Every structure is written in structure tokens, then in C-alpha cells.
Amino acid sequence: MCRHLGYLGPPRDLATLLLAPPHSLLRQSYAPVDMRGGGTINADGFGAGWYPDGAITPIRYRRAVPLWTDATFAALATEVRSGAVLAAVRSATVGMPIVDTACAPFGTGRWLFSHNGRIAGWPDSVATLARRLPVTDLLTLDAPTDSALLWALVRSRLAAGETLGCAVGTVAAQVLGCAPSSRLNLLITDGVTLAATTVHHALAVRVGDGAVLVCSEPTDDSSDWEPVADRHLLTATSSAVDVVPIPADMAHADPTVTEEP
Ligand code: GLN
């Protein structure tokens, strides 16, 4: 399974956030420690999205190569600074394509999104949910993967005016209803707030000094990291974090969706 990271706070360079820490996302790409049975390393690609100073719309860099092989990214990471970053390293689920566009972050407009996990029973288990999306959304998925479909489901809720937390919490709950053994750690930001779910996968959070850092695994040995319990919804700004169980009623937020056991 993949590993992902979200940061909100004072502008930092990408190398400091993603490459330099002792258990950085870079290290988690080849030596993760808490994969919970979901794969071994995260070598099928990576991506980073960041908001330039004052910008509402982020920039994305995605490649289907191991993070440790991309010297161009390492060089630009020392120069790019941002106060809002979402990044991920990928371990492709068996059968899913290894292409740039299957790497997180997915995004449209001001949003960046990542999924750590897999949809059990893909694709049949979520056909009913997918059918509710406009056909053009399905025809223009970034890639034929579970993560790209999850992004389309989340995006349609955001476009309808839902908050980040409501959108990812509802999609996680609905997919869990259709495919109960799925792993659904979702992560999203709009550059000002972020939201994340935990479903059968690891996540930790560190908050302090006007910054919040959320990552699949702690990036250093600081005692400030708090694990996020399973089946929880985290919402955060750069100065505050809220963690609650994923509300059960989120699965029923759309009464026209038929959920299978
Ligand atoms: N299942 C997704 C994919 O293959 C997510 C990756 C992961 O968490 N392993 O792209």
C-alpha cells in the first residue's frame, strides 16, 4: 500500500518535508515499517502537490518511478517552498497500471487528494456507487484504478458543496458499505484545511508551532506524534486537529445509493 503525507504550516522546502527526515516519505518508499500486510515497498511511483505562495491552485509533479531514482525531483525539492503540501509514494495494487496518472496526488482546481489502500472486490463491489457519477467523470478518470474512482466520488461531493471532511468521510463509509474489507485511508487538502480517514491502515499526526503534519508513518522519533485510530476522520488546519470516529450515518448520506453487505 502506498504512504502519504499532508502538511499545513509555515512555508518549508519540499526536501525538508519529504526527503530529509530520518523516516521521511523517501525512506518510507523503500523501508516502510507499518504496512499492515499491504505490500512491501512503495516503488511504483510518487507524487507531490504544493501551493505556491499566495496561490489558490496547486502545482503537481507525478512520476511512475521510485522516488529515490528521480534526481530532478530531489533538486527541485530543495528550491520549492510551500505552506501546504500533499505527497505520496505508491505501491500499485496488483492488476492496476503503473503510469504517472495513477500516482497521487489526484486533483482538480484547488484540491489535492490521495488514497492509501485498495477497494476490495474491485471493480464489481463499487459498480453501484460508480454508476451514480456522470458518465463523463468515468470516461475521464486519471487512470483505471480504485484510487482514481475514489477521487471522482470525492470530487463530486466537493462540487456539490460538501466540506473536505464530509466528502472523504462519506465516500469512505459508502465504499466500506459495499466492500467491507477495503483499506481506505483518504487524504485531501484545499491548501488551508485538510481531512483524512483511517480505514484498515496506519496514520499519525503531529501538531505544534503553527503546523500540522499528517503521515502514514511518523517521519521522525519525536514523541509529539499521535497515532490516529482506525475508522476515524481527522480534520485539521495549521493550528488545530480534530479526530472523531467516522460517523455511521455518513454511509447513508445519499439515500439513493444501494449498499451491498
Ligand atoms: N490501490 C491503489 C493503487 O494501486 C492505491 C495504492 C496503494 O495504497 N497501494 O494505485
218-255, pLDDT tens digit by residue? Answer: 999 999 999 999 999 999 999 999 999 998 777 666 53
Q: Is a pLDDT exceeding 70 seen at residue 257?
A: no
Q: Which of 120, 122, 150 is nearest to 137 (CA)?
A: 150
> pLDDT at position 239, please?
92
**Bridge partners of residue 148, in order along the sequence:** none
Domains of the chain (ranges; CATH) run 3-252 (3.60.20.10)
Q: Whose CA is nearest to atom 9 of ligand 1?
A: 1
Q: Which of 91, 141, 149, 198 to mutate to test the pocket of ligand 1 (most atoms within 8 A of CB)?
A: 91
Which one has a higher pLDDT value, 187 or 31?
187
pLDDT bin (cut points 50, 70, 90) of residue 195 is: very high
Q: Is a pLDDT exceeding 50 seen at residue 261?
A: no
> pLDDT at position 38, please?
64
- Per-residue pLDDT of 8-57, as tens digits, reads 999 999 999 999 999 999 999 998 887 676 678 898 999 999 999 989 99
> pLDDT at position 37, please?
67
Q: Is a pLDDT exceeding 80 seen at residue 259?
A: no
Q: Is a pLDDT exceeding 70 seen at residue 256?
A: no
Ligand 1 atom at minimum distance from 201 CA: 8
2 is an active site residue: yes
Binding pocket residue ranges, ligand 1, CB within 6 Å? 1-2, 39, 90-93, 96, 102, 115-118, 145-147
Predicted structure pTM score: 0.94
Ligand 1 midpoint to CA 115 (Å): 7
Q: Which of 47, 46, 52, 7 is nearest to 30 (CA)?
A: 46
Instruction: For the sheet with 204-208, list strands across it.
Output: 59-63, 46-50, 81-89, 3-13, 211-215, 204-208, 226-227
- Per-residue pLDDT of 54-107, as tens digits, reads 899 999 999 999 999 999 999 999 999 999 999 999 999 999 999 999 999 999
CA dihedral for 86, 91, 94, 96, sign (positive or negative): positive
